[in-house]
Amino acid sequence: MNEASDDDDLWEAMADPTRRKLLDLIVARGQATATTLTADMPVSRQAISKHLSVLQRVGLIDGHREGREVRYEVREQRLAEATEALSEVANRWDGRLRVIKRLAEQAHAADRSMRADTSTDHPART
């Protein structure tokens, strides 16, 4: 898998609010099982397990079996990488938005200037 595909998979996984909430809960607790997470979520244990599988597939969590349960914990390095990647995306968009703002301000100033020129060409009659 290439880096762009990895990023796409990560963003797709994190686009779901249930998965973000699960990740938050695991971070807060240090580790958790599907059963313990189900108590704090408005979805079934089966749905929780599917969401955990997605988080595990993109490398944000690891699971290890203890008896009948799987305990999940955050892969801190991968979460740090994801946070950094998101920060880079935000910085690129900040730059794009600054350019858009500057262009809009220039267009507005040109429009105002053109209106001012038009009004001086045709003085108002009183």
The pair of structure tokens assigned to 17 is: 């609010």
Provide the percentage of residues in the chain whose pLDDT is more than 90. Answer: 63
Rg of the chain over all Cα atoms, to the nearest angstrom: 25
pLDDT score at 113 = 85
Q: What residues form DSSP beta bridges with 17? A: none
pTM of the model: 0.70
Pick the CATH number of 3-74 from 3.20.20.80, 1.10.10.10, 3.20.20.70, 1.10.3720.10: 1.10.10.10
Query: For the chain, what are the domain ranges?
Result: 3-74
pLDDT score at 73 = 97
Q: Mind listing the pLDDT tens digit for each residue in 51-75?
A: 999 999 999 999 999 999 999 999 9
pLDDT score at 4 = 58
Task: Place 2 in a pLDDT band, splitting at 50, 70 and 90.
Answer: low
pLDDT score at 89 = 84
Q: Mind listing the pLDDT tens digit for each residue in 70-112?
A: 999 999 999 898 888 888 888 999 999 999 999 999 999 988 8
Q: Give the mean model confidence (pLDDT) for residues 100-126.
A: 79
Buried b (16+ CB within 10 A) or exposed e, 21-55: bbbebbbeeebbbbebbbeebeeeeeebeebbebb
Q: Mind listing the pLDDT tens digit for each residue in 23-52?
A: 999 999 999 999 999 999 999 999 999 999
